[in-house]
Structure 1
């Protein structure tokens, strides 16, 4: 286990704080007393901006455990509180400021221990050079991270920031043939729903009835230009999402085609994606959003020129290499990242509407946006928002073979 020198720890509430000094002595403090009590030391804390705000923004530095977590566990999240950390790290949950302050050193040691255990994995191949580069820009965790990686004297490596060198290249795949038009019978949809929910699930007759009703939308068209439309409504708690995912997945499986599920917000997209995790193994589910939601590698490269951004961009480089889809604003980048470094940073490295140069971009072959687009072309279920679905329908209107034939608007 990497040696972690005795560090002070600071836990702040509303109107009061607790400081654990390097000798293990706990001192309750009023906000105005914190700067003098801390002195020249740098205490551990969770969510430095929020902690400092609660204390009246004293002129002190903090070792933010959120930064260490983002480096050690990229593309994972937790609640940015002592209790959230404890649950994520499977430690006893602190129930007071005193116990929270006492827990912070153990949390830091555990994260560094995990980093040490994985130092030889492919994911950490460039971690030392990246941490040294971030340390060059003033990252307070750099010496501890380098020690955990077994490379305390590692030199800063600007190449480690060039994440496009590590991202896999996407490949063009032949378009899928047009789907078949085999129907889904109500009884089949009910059986699929029952198998997805499992024998221990609560019996909800209304959900099964809803599932049967929506199968009409998956029947073959009786005439060109006359789609089968079903308007189905059910009360809150019925289980509508699984009610339509059951026949939708069955239709996609049987007809080798895609069903597009369209909803309004990112949050609803994620909810549907979570429900879709129950679908049979091998069912391909892809989340689609507008381009402005995703990391742009060219904008990231431009942002690297600013020394003041080296620390957050280093963490973004770690995240992007582990991310499922490169979604900056609703994917696996923790929501608190923007609270630490500002929403403007994320906006500056996201794709901006109308600016993409597509195939002329030097990073086109590793572009996360292009990868998601191609994944969606081969998917069984695509979960998108209404605006994108409507735009896709218009853009694909000149080629009927590329237009989805089954939609669910939720």
Structure 2
């Protein structure tokens, strides 16, 4: 049986990797860099994986030197994951049998392909396109799944939810699972069950605290007809879903609209806490050109357009300006490619709500950030239910908008 030694792996990485390789009849042993040499010599694994948190420590350097000088361990291949480091440092790692260095967040399909090649046994991979986004607001965890159900991401979800619950010491965790962009059939039944099982985080979240937002009849019928999911609420209305969570917990006596308005719109969680960790399979492919993001700015106020354009440009972004909805929708129809759209609701030719509805019909996947003077909670709820990622009420400092756009892009990857 093939064996892998994971050194300095985070709890999330350990659990996910163990489940993945166990399915391929590969054993996984874990160790810190301090104890790794002893375990390495006794195990003589087929592969070593090292997770670097921020910098390559002196302790890790000593371990690499010991391995390099040991004739039994010298040729064991190493895969490393970590932060961005210069090419010269990566080249220096080659002499220590480091065959791959993956910059975080990892593109996991390439990562597991590399493991399979080294072990000379291809690892099965689900290549289904899937966008999985997690946000924590108060004690409510929002999980959005779009495009499709990818088994690797669904497996990771269980560990990420458990990590969030433990990190923030959430006594009564509640989950809103948003599936409004999914259309499934009976063929997807097993993967849908896997999703629901992992959302419960190993039964740590009671069914009555799991609410599902979906327009799909198959999703609705499967949940309603499955005894394992008894107690889960399925709805097409975000406000109702939020309200049902409030009603389930007698300690929460505030109005659900106020909760959404105060927490979803003004969440102060750092952006990196919403991300899935080491997975990234939505690379924009624009980083090599020096462009951080391509943004569409749709606003009839010329001052706001130019101000945002200058701010995004100074942050290595590329802004395309639209003074009305018609011009923007024509660009979308013509295949214009953006990483994020900043949209005003009040435009001279059409309102932003109509644009959002049109984009939903087109299954438009680019995240939308609403930047508008409209501040009523009803409008905000409507916009969020149509898939907008964020709502900022005018006016805001331009830097705030850029930071929020970066947060959205980071959490979408």
TM-score interval w.r.t. the shorter chain?
under 0.3
Q: Which has the higher strand share?
A: 2
Q: Which has the larger radius of gyration?
A: 1
Report the TM-score when normalising by structure 1. Answer: 0.25
State the structure with bigger RCO (CA 8 A, min sep 6), 1 or 2: 1
